[in-house]
Structure 1
Amino acid sequence: MTPVLETRALETTTPVLELDDVALSYRGSAAPVVRDVSLTVRAGHSLALVGESGAGKTTLLRLLLGLARPTAGTVRFDGEPLALRDREQMRRFRRGVQCVFQDPYSSLDPRRRVGAIVAEPLRSLGIADRRTAAPKVAEALERVGLPADAARRYPHEFSGGQRQRIAIARATVCEPRVLLADEPVSALDVTTRVKIVDLLAELKQERGLTLVMVSHDLSVVASLCERTAVLERGGVVEQGDTARVLGDPAHPYTRRLVDSVPRLPG
């Protein structure tokens, strides 16, 4: 087998991110926040983490981002255990895995112009300097539907939906392989929410992004994610193809989640 074919075979068989029997307990806590969680994120695919508040979704996202260290089990990146003290691995990881946070109002520094905010990953990862970052920033802004002159303005000059587009531009400017999204549309009105969901779907298809998303909104999950994992009290109670999990749930907790979605009277 040629090296190219070997690489393609590796990409096909090796998950880009993986949790293997992961648990996390905070100091002084009587019970773990998450326990015995195993999840696989394959390149080019999408996974939703759903459940009630306090189920452990955001904690799992922090583990996948390398922002927290599990007290048991292993987090893997490209098949290798994620070592937070390995600078070379973490540089590759930070370039390959980026995040969009829930609140576009608090995730953008109001004192900096949009161009500097979007360029920050390029500079911190050593991809570009101030001069060479400018065209990459303009391209990223255009990709999310914002004009290039947005780079000269401040976050407060934009609407909530536009700010979330800025956050997505910042997360995708360094061409990551994986985008982790923590409730990316929950702070937006319904019309804007639809537009941001459409943008994420477009980026996923055109850029080949792998998407992991935390969401309470099952309609967003059904639109964007091929697989869904349902969490209850820190553990995964059900996971599989989204159409099956949401359309014909096997676990009582999943059925309660699905039944709790408001429906228009017939």
Structure 2
Amino acid sequence: MTPVLELKDVALRHRGSAANTVEDVSLAVEAGHSLALVGESGAGKTTLLRLLLGLSRPTAGAVRFDGAELSPGDRAQMRRFRRSVQCVFQDPYSSLDPRRRVAAVVAEPLRSLGIDTRAGAAPKVAAALERVGLPADAADRYPHEFSGGQRQRIAIARATVCGPRVLLADEPVSALDVTTRVKVVDLLAELQREQGLTLVMVSHDLSVVASLCERTAVLERGRIVEQGDTAQVLGEPAHPYTRRLIESVPRLPV
């Protein structure tokens, strides 16, 4: 089966830098499956996410979408890509325009991708808000009127309103308290199951990774040191770096 997203021998060096931020990275995500990118801060996780989103171009190697190399100059391909691949960011407040009502925020992908007019978008916005468990009157309110967990639900509604095939999530629950985090993780799992979403998630929280993702890739200093089934990687890590990550997870004293 052709992966929906793939990085092949990818390297990226930022302008003015003497070394690559990521190097010799290869990974693939098949449709309907889930992958976590884990590692310490600065390991290159968000850089890989930006490459998968088409926001950065690799210095070497290729980013592929449905088997074809992603080409920012190919407008038809990029339109298909933008409709198929959406993102949920870490901070739900900074990612939502505080000057716009929730209806306009959630409808933004429908308008920017030319899928619907303002009037045509309304029922899809209502359905997206209902899917993430928000009341109908949420559409007429502003982001600051909601809690952090509710704002992240708005962000998820915006990312899924156009029916994407792939959801990329950058630390989607790290800014939330523990109880709210569990609810948002359950929501993501439900959306993935019901809509057949492909999920790629950056996370420091290995418990979230274990709950949501079938496969895990471990990054150290811009290189993948281990990848495979999440149960295997987290349960029986083969690389010393992965073992250190797992051992660093805080535990309550017995």
TM-based fold match above 0.5: yes
Distance 1:173 1:148 in 2: 15
Which of these residues, 170, 183, 198, is aligned with residue 171 of structure 2? 183
Distance 1:147 1:263 in 2: 37
Residue 142 of structure 1: aligned partner? 130
* 2:92 counterpart SS class: coil
* 1:249 counterpart SS class: coil
Instruction: Please tell me the residue identity of whatever aligns with 2:140.
Output: R
Distance 1:17 1:161 in 2: 29
Distance 1:205 1:133 in 2: 24
Which of these residues, 3, 7, 11, is aligned with residue 23 of structure 1? 11
Distance 2:161 2:28 in 1: 25
Distance 1:77 1:150 in 2: 35
Q: Which runs of 5+ in 1 are unaligned?
A: 1-12
* 1:18 counterpart SS class: strand
Which of these residues, 194, 203, 211, is aligned with residue 191 of structure 2? 203
Which of these residues, 109, 113, 138, is aligned with residue 101 of structure 2? 113
Residue 164 of structure 1: aligned partner? 152
Residue 193 of structure 1: aligned partner? 181
Q: CA deviation at 1:263?
A: 1.5
* 1:60 counterpart SS class: helix
Q: CA deviation at 1:182?
A: 0.1
- How do 1:61-100 and structure 2 match up within 5 A? 61-100=49-88
Instruction: Give CA-to-partner distance per residue, 1:157-182, whole Å, 9 cap, x none.
Output: 00000000000000000000000000
* 2:97 counterpart SS class: coil
Distance 1:113 1:226 in 2: 36
Residue 37 of structure 1: aligned partner? 25
Q: Which runs of 5+ in 2 are unaligned?
A: none
What TM-score results when the alignment is normalised by the length of structure 1? 0.95
What TM-score results when the alignment is normalised by the length of structure 2? 0.99
- Paired residue total: 254
Distance 1:39 1:193 in 2: 27
Residue 2 of structure 2: aligned partner? 14
* 1:180 counterpart SS class: strand
Q: CA deviation at 1:265?
A: 2.1
